[in-house]
Structure 1
């Protein structure tokens, strides 16, 4: 842990099992369950967890947007859709690269970017 640096992030999840399966299938995440209503992940650039709730992180409503990096954006997008994710903003260019936004099965929005 580094002093005064981001260390942990938490998200709501309507369906913890579907969210865990999605992140395991797409990004090979593993989880540690703490009871029936909380699961944690680590070794992903930042540690974090999902808690059972009928809410979702939505950047258009002020929620934080966490962004993954990919060396092959099209391959990552294919894995996301195959695992049940929805592309909510198709690939677009921005200064420095390209990115797209997706939601996972519990509705939390994330993005993926690439400099390739």
Structure 2
């Protein structure tokens, strides 16, 4: 199977209670444009297209696990983390850690307005 995924993670889904508000939050925080897709069984807002390389995912109407429960999705950002932290707060999320240095770069933990745990990495 030549099209088999090369990464352990191949797709992620983030459940949100307000799809439009979540789209605005992630577009503001990540400084990207997202695409709404209504072709499936429920509406989705795509982080990128299927033709992009690497792992990607979408937002969908659902019930987040709640603070302290569920998975943490780490998302890449191009801007300095301090600037991204400001955008998280301005967009209605919560920064829950300082920037953490690791051998591969830096990241911090945050919570989106729906209560999902995210890590923002560069």
For Structure 1 versus Structure 2, the TM-score category normalised by the shorter chain is 0.7 to 0.9
Which TM-score applies when normalising by structure 2?
0.70
1:1-116 equivalences under 5 Å are 2-5=3-6, 6-27=9-30, 28-34=32-38, 37-41=42-46, 42-43=48-49, 45-56=54-65, 60-61=68-69, 63-114=71-122
- Give the distance between the partners of 2:56 and 2:121, measured in 1 at CA: 20
Corresponding residue SS for 2:96: strand
Corresponding residue SS for 1:102: strand
Greater strand fraction, Structure 1 or Structure 2: 1
Which TM-score applies when normalising by structure 1?
0.73
Displaced runs of 4 or more, over 6 A: none
Deviation string for 1:1-54 (max 9, x for gaps)?
Answer: 952234421111111111101112222231223179421311575332122122
- Give the distance between the partners of 1:66 and 1:90, measured in 2 at CA: 15
| Cα root mean square deviation, aligned | 2.9
Offset of 1:90 from its aligned partner?
2.3
Corresponding residue SS for 2:108: strand
Gaps of 5+ in 1: none
Larger mean CA deviation between 102-111 and 90-99 belongs to 90-99
